[in-house]
Amino acid sequence: MTNTLEVWWRPKGRSPFSFDPTKPRGPQIFAAVWQSAIIFGGPLLGLVIVNHYPFLIEDRTLYIAGLSSIAFWFCASFVVPQLNHFPRGMPQSAKLAFRAGFGLCMTGLLLGLLGIANGYATPLVSREVPVFAKHQTGQRDPSRRTNYVAVRAWPDSRDVVELAVPLDVYSRLDAPLTGIKTALETMPDAGRVNLIIGKGRLGWDWLNSVELP
């Protein structure tokens, strides 16, 4: 029995990962390589900068930039010719999912490349900052929890950011326990930590580690 899914997923009975014998092989190989680089390289590079060169910026700034980038590349996929050749009969929902995935992977790829270019082999400095509060995530297994402290990370600014810290730093800080971020700006200092910061070559500071003074 033939249905729409079979028509677009296995054109003329071929594997979806095989080349079309009616078209030149060179362009198909090139397209497969650059698509694989985006699909696999984007998430991989995104994880690299999250773990090794995280930007020292407010969470909302990162969220706004990330969502804006995903939306931009989603819209751009409609005007890139190579991204508009879908198998005949492919459902519209699958096409939209592909475009959204392209936007997500492109965002991860660019974010990763920028993070590595900005942070790799850059000098580190120490900055002592005040701590206002701390909290943990709610996993039942304590070993799987992430520990956060709320700090004022920038001199001459009252903006507060929550940073993940090792358990020994978290447990030795005598700061109030709270998960309410909206009131942190008005809370008094409850301790100090040293931020080990990389001075990014593109102008963006990145966080290497958080230590006790």
Q: Give the pLDDT of residue 15.
A: 64
Burial 182-196 (b: 16+ CB within 10 A, else e): eebeebeebbebebe
Report pLDDT digits (tens) over 181-205.
545 666 778 889 999 999 999 999 9
The amino acid at residue 83 is L
| Distance separating alpha carbons of residues 67 and 84, to the nearest angstrom | 22
Which parts of 77-207 fold into alpha helices (H)?
92-119, 167-172
Tokens of 36: 């694989």
Provide the whole-model pTM: 0.82
How far, in Å, CA of 158 to CA of 161, rounded?
Answer: 10
| Helix, strand or coil, per DSSP, at residue 93 | helix
What's the pLDDT at 17? 62
Residue 77 has pLDDT above 60, yes or no: yes
Q: How far is CA 89 from the centre of its chain?
A: 33
Query: Rounded CA gap, 9 and 13, in Å?
Result: 9
pLDDT at 176 over 50: yes
Q: Measured between alpha carbons, how far is 164 from 134 in angstroms, rounded to an integer?
A: 10
Length of the chain: 213
Q: How far apart are CA 8 and CA 144, in angstroms?
A: 43
How many Å apart are CA 205 and CA 183, to the nearest integer?
25
Structure tokens at 40: 């696999």
Name the strands in the sheet holding 191-199, side by side, starting at the edge strand that comes first in the sequence: 161-165, 147-151, 124-136, 191-199, 205-211
Domain ranges of the chain: 4-119, 124-211
How does pLDDT run across 17-69, given as a tens digit for each residue? 677 777 788 888 887 888 889 999 999 999 999 999 999 998 889 899 999 99
pLDDT at 153: 93
DSSP state of 88: T
84-140 per-position pLDDT tens digit:
877 777 789 988 999 999 999 999 999 999 999 999 999 999 999 999 899 999 899
